[in-house]
Amino acid sequence: MIKYCANLSTLFPELPFLERFGAARSAGFGAVEVLFPYDHPVPDMLDMLGRNEQSLAMITCPPPNYTGGERGFAAVPGREARFQQDFRRTLRYAKALGAKHIHIMAGAAAGPDALATFVANLRWATAFAPEQSLTIEPMANIAVPGYFLNDYVQALEIIKEVRAPHLGIQFDTWHAFQIHGNVGDIWAHVKNYVTHVQFAQSPSRNSPDVAGDIDFTSFMKQIKKDGYKGWVSGEYTPDGLTGSSLNWKA
Catalytic residues: 137, 235
What does the alpha-carbon distance between residue 86 and residue 92 come to, in Å, rounded to a whole number? 10
Residue 6 CA to residue 86 CA, distance in Å, equals 25
Count of Cβ atoms closer than 10 Å to residue 174 Cβ: 25
Q: For residue 54, what are the CA distances in angstroms to 57, 130, 179? A: 9, 24, 33
